[in-house]
Chain A
Amino acid sequence: MRGWICAETIEPVTLHGIIGRVVRPLIVVGGILPAVVLVIRLLTGTLGADPAEDLEHSTGLTALILLLSSLAMTPLKRLTGLTALVRLRKPLGLWAFAYAVLHLSCYLVFDQSLLWGEIGRDIVKRPYITVGFAAFLILLTLAITSPAAMIRKLGGQRWQRLHRLAYVAAVLAVLHFLWLVKLDITEPAIAGMVLIGLLALRIERPGTGKAERDEVV
């Protein structure tokens, strides 16, 4: 009995310890790195001929990749059995939000020169801007409600339902990407297929939903 308890307690602690001590700091470094690279390239003039466009596109793409990575953690946990992976969803999601903020800022400043009337019209009139902005609002909501205190305040189930909106944000972000390209849809198509795969993995096993919720909360 004693041995069993030891195994049960030590093993997860070790894994969580690895995630906590190694992977989470790695995510901090990995999260800052794309921004640092962009700033260095900007300062050294090694962005492309149109640096504003490069900044806008890179931050948007980074946000999307991080969002999809965050959503990939639960399926990955299922495939690998590493429950600790679930703990990476939040930091990855928050980094996705940070890059979404940078991406939106690029649009507001570089594309619109902070002309708020124009921005309002653009959001209403242009589908790819509308869905992009909607995705941002979802990420904003999720970021605000991400602290543990907010989970307690909202209640686990409500919080869980709210945070499923991350999938909606990802769908909108992929649409946003797909709608803005002129001809070559390779990149948005890849993102779309990854997202469809992730959604399929979640829908495939509806029976595990309850267990999932309990374990996450």
Chain B
Amino acid sequence: MLIRRNAEIPAREITPESLYLGRREWLTAAGVTLSALAPLSLVGCRKADAVESAQEEKPTPFDVATSYNNYYEFGIGKEDPKEYAGALTTSPWSVEVVGEVAKPGFVPIETLLKGLPTVERIYRHRCVEAWSMVIPWNGIMLKDLIARLEPNSNARFVEFTTLNRPKEMIGQRGRGLPWPYVEALRLDEAMHPLTMLATGIYGRSLPNQNGAPLRLVVPWKYGFKGGKAIVKIRFTSEMPSTTWNRVLPGEYGFYANVNPEVDHPRWSQARERRVGDFLKRPTLMFNGYADQVASLYAGMDLRRNY
């Protein structure tokens, strides 16, 4: 074993495609130093955690990650997004920047992201429905973009609005959620180095069904926080009203942090099924990123702020 076993390293999922770069960047982000580094080891960083020591985490196969999606803009079925997302035009694409920010306006996506350092991260992805995946993302750290946009001192929250284009998004035509889909983060959550805006997965550009061309990735929160096909970023002083919270406030809160101890009103969040597995595995506090993010919620009642 060339890699030091370190209890502080919470992720050990590595794909061959993004093995070397992905792991190094992840570890940098996590603020962990390595005593040794294997250039091509297939073994990731092992967590000395009895909870899952028996099961080696593997990245979810690309085909599964792109054919089992919750993306109600394209329908409610898990296979609907893959079937219908092909109709979506993702170029040209602009993002509207508004609110408590120095440089509001419509910004072409190329300009928006140009020159920002790209990152590749392998994250656990936990859905509120108690299934999970392991996804290698590529994109940028949201904090880098926020620094570029220069929010003013009134900005305490960042809101993300998803595309509303019923002509290309079949799920927006009939019943469903109120469109457009809106999600939001507290500014400190948005500035956290784990928070990404993804433009790709598995080293490829983002498939439409996974949120092309730009989606939010917040690995310690339930998947529904990760807005897809983002067209608007708003900085605001008030906590924004978010879609699922508006529809079912008793079931989906603003924070939506992965928490095995706080159940969904109708089902347990203590365990999750990695898609493709038959048996469930224990869910980790903050989806396994507690060491990095727990301090954001110090003193908060996580039962009330679900």
Binding site for B on A (CB under 8 A): 48-53, 109-113, 118, 122, 126-128, 179-180, 182-184
Contacts and interface: CB of A to CB of B under 8 A. Distances in A.
B78, B177, B268 — which one has the most chain A CB atoms within 10 A of its CB? B268
Contacts of A122: 268
A201 to B, nearest CB: 29
Nearest to B130: A111
Contacts of A109: 278-279
A48 B76 contact: no
B223 to A, nearest CB: 13
A50 B272 CA distance: 12
Nearest to B252: A182
A183 B176 contact: yes
A183 B76 contact: yes
Contacts of B31: none
Given A183-B76, A183-B176, A49 B279 contact: no
10 contacts: A48-B68, A48-B79, A50-B68, A50-B131, A52-B277, A53-B273, A111-B273, A113-B280, A126-B267, A183-B72
Interface of B: 63-64, 67-68, 72, 76, 78-79, 129, 131, 175-177, 247, 266-268, 270-271, 273, 275-280
A52 B76 contact: no
A52 B279 CA distance: 8
Contact of A182 (B129, B270, B279): B129
A111 B272 CA distance: 8
A113 B279 contact: yes
Contacts of A128: 266
B176 A51 contact: no
Contacts of B79: 48
A180 B129 CA distance: 10
Given A48-B68, A183-B176, A53 B279 contact: no
A110 B266 contact: no
Nearest to A127: B266
Given A49-B78, A53-B131, A183-B247, A110 B64 contact: no
Contacts of A53: 131, 273
Contacts of B280: 110-113
Give the residue among A48, A51, A111, A182 with the most B Cβ atoms within 10 A. A182
